[in-house]
Amino acid sequence: MSRYPSIRSALLLIAPLALLACGEAPREAAAPPPITAAAKPEPPKQTPPRVEQAQAKTPAPEVAPAQAPASAAQPASPTVLEETKSAPGAIPPSKLPDPNAKPKDDPVDPLKWLQDHQARQADFERRKQEAEDHLAAAQTEVASREKILLEFKNPFLPRPQLPPDEAATIAGMQSNVDRVKWAEEKLAAAKARLADAQTHLDDVKANPPLN
């Protein structure tokens, strides 16, 4: 017999024993991945032009103003003035007119000035005429009283012509002395009225209307 069949038989016997001793047969290790070149970093993507323009036109958000702290100083209360006793901005009391202030000169209207002058002149003439009439009446009364007195004193002259009331007054007198005394009193009163009339006329003439 050849020796080759004996070796084969021995291998067939050893193989199952080896499997029992080692357990499962070891799996084949996975082959490592092939070595490739290092991956290059991708370049940054460029923003399209339209997006950049839109971003440029978009206004920046407004920043809200900072609120004043609650502890900020409050405005001071209005001060009361000592002179007017009122707050600033109040209507001051109206000032009293100055008694020494000169009135403003308004432009003179010639027509109105002429009318006023004529009215003043007419009033002056009227008052002067009245004073002259009173003076003339007083002078006439004085002359009449002098004549009556003279007629009472001189018995050779006719009896004086008296008004009814005066004639009744002297009719009750007993003596001519009483009649003379009465006539003298009437003459003195007439002369006093004459003096007053003359003074009044002089005052009127001394105050003519101003031009």
The total of other beta-carbon atoms located within 10 Å of residue 201's CB is: 20
Query: What per-residue confidence (pLDDT) applies to 10?
Result: 61
Query: What per-residue confidence (pLDDT) applies to 20?
Result: 58
Q: What percentage of the chain has pLDDT greater than the value 70?
A: 53
d(CA 125, CA 129): 6
Which carries the bigger pLDDT value, residue 207 or residue 61? 207
**Position 67 pLDDT exceeds 60:** no
Do 208 and 124 form a contact (C-beta atoms < 8 A)? yes
Which carries the bigger pLDDT value, residue 153 or residue 104? 153
**Position 139 pLDDT exceeds 60:** yes
Query: Mean pLDDT, the chain, as a whole number?
Result: 74
Which carries the bigger pLDDT value, residue 31 or residue 193? 193
Query: What per-residue confidence (pLDDT) applies to 119?
Result: 92
Do 134 and 202 form a contact (C-beta atoms < 8 A)? no
The total of other beta-carbon atoms located within 10 Å of residue 197's CB is: 20
Query: What per-residue confidence (pLDDT) applies to 172?
Result: 87
Query: What per-residue confidence (pLDDT) applies to 68?
Result: 47
pTM recorded for the entire structure: 0.47
**Position 183 pLDDT exceeds 70:** yes
